[in-house]
């Protein structure tokens, strides 16, 4: 169900890219928009992991530097039947984590210094298993592609403002509406995909670590502690918020349709129900 919903949402975003291209240049514009979006996705697919790790000041940890953390990631990756990902430490006190990489063979798990200090071993295992589930489901690739298409849609919306669009396709009024509504629609689709993938990663992560209640406990503690600390790299790069296990942006009270993550209470309730079964 989650994969089917993600496919439909990504198809709708692709259609939105083509519709804006059509408004700009008819059939040729729609085709050109699709080609440009594909080129942007290819670049993001190859470079996104390096970009996001650099943005957050991540430091790679080998077996010696990583110690128990590196050993825990290796153990859980083996359980998940995944290649060993690279392990990174994020120098921030906000407890959080994310996964990145274009495929399981080129993946990375990054955890913050605050996460290591704030969780016990079982809770930390639950969070890492959640991130490994994202890698196994190739969610890191999905979210990279949707972020790239959302950026392309915003760019084309701005182009419509200056060109006015084709007169036989709504003219100035249509261009203004598209400029305003298209980026909002793209952001809503991007956030909906992110929320759907979080539920699935919680479910699979709980199976990998074998302790749904440990992951539920970790989510509750992270959500509580994250609100009391500031993650400056995430604040400077809000597009990366969807990658984290809990929304890292501080003090935001957005409407749920624009939230990058499902409500933590819902995620915990699902994990508790899973443990009960």
For residue 22, the model assigns a pLDDT of 73
Higher-confidence residue of 240 and 172: namely 240
The CA distance from 218 to 201, in Å, is: 14
Average model confidence (pLDDT) across the chain: 80
Catalytic residues: 131
Confidence at residue 181, expressed as pLDDT on a 0 to 100 scale:
65
**Cβ atoms within 10 Å, residue 1:** 8
Structural domain count, the chain? 1
Range in 13-17, 184-188, 205-209, 252-256 with the lowest mean pLDDT? 252-256
Distance CA 142, CA 130 (A): 16
In tens, the pLDDT along 89-137 reads 999 999 999 998 888 999 999 999 999 999 999 999 999 999 999 999 9
Q: What is the pLDDT of residues 10-26, one digit of tens each?
A: 666 666 676 777 776 67
DSSP letter assigned to residue 229: S
* pLDDT, tens digit (0-9, with 9 covering 90-100), for 260-274: 688 899 999 999 999
Per-residue b or e along 135-157, where b marks 16 or more CB atoms closer than 10 Å to that residue's CB: bbbbbbbbbbbbbbbbbbbbebb
Exposure b/e, 32-47, CB count within 10 A at least 16 = b: ebbeebbebbeebbee
Q: Is residue 257's pLDDT more than 50?
A: no
Q: Measure the CA–CA gap between 194 and 202, rounded to whole angstroms.
A: 12
pLDDT at 122: 97
pLDDT digit string, tens, across residues 147-173: 666 666 666 666 665 655 544 445 555
* Confidence class for position 88, pLDDT limits 50, 70, 90: very high
Percent of the chain with pLDDT over 70: 65
Tokens, residue 273: 């129900």
Structural domain of residue 153, as residue ranges? Answer: 2-276
Reference 17, options 36, 45, 44; nearest CA is 36
Side-chain-side CA neighbours of residue 197 (13 Å): 32
């Amino acid at each position: 169900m989650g994969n089917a919903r993600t496919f439909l949402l990504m198809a709708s975003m692709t259609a939105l890219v083509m519709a804006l291209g059509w408004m700009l240049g008819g059939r040729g514009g729609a085709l050109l928009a699709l080609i440009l979006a594909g080129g942007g996705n290819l670049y993001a697919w190859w470079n996104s992991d390096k970009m996001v790790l650099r943005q957050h000041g991540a430091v790679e940890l080998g077996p010696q530097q990583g110690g128990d953390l590196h050993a825990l990631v290796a153990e859980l990756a083996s359980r998940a039947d995944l290649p060993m990902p690279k392990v990174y430490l994020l120098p921030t006190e906000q407890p959080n984590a994310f996964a990145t990489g274009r495929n399981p063979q080129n993946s990375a798990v990054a955890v913050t210094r605050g996460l290591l200090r704030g969780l016990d071993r079982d809770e930390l295992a639950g969070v890492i298993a959640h991130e490994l589930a994202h890698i196994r489901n190739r969610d890191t690739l999905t979210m990279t592609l949707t972020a790239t298409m959302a950026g392309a849609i915003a760019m084309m919306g701005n182009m419509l403002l200056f060109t006015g669009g084709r007169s036989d396709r709504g003219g100035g009024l249509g261009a203004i509406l598209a400029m305003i509504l298209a980026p909002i629609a793209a952001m809503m689709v991007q956030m909906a995909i992110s929320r759907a993938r979080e539920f699935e990663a919680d479910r699979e992560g709980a199976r990998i670590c074998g302790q749904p209640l440990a992951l539920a406990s970790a989510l509750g503690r992270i959500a509580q502690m994250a609100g009391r600390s500031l993650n400056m790299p995430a604040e400077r790069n809000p597009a990366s918020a969807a990658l984290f296990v809990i929304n890292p942006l501080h003090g935001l009270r957005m409407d749920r349709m624009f939230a990058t993550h499902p409500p933590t209470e819902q995620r915990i309730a699902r994990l508790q129900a899973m443990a009960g079964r």
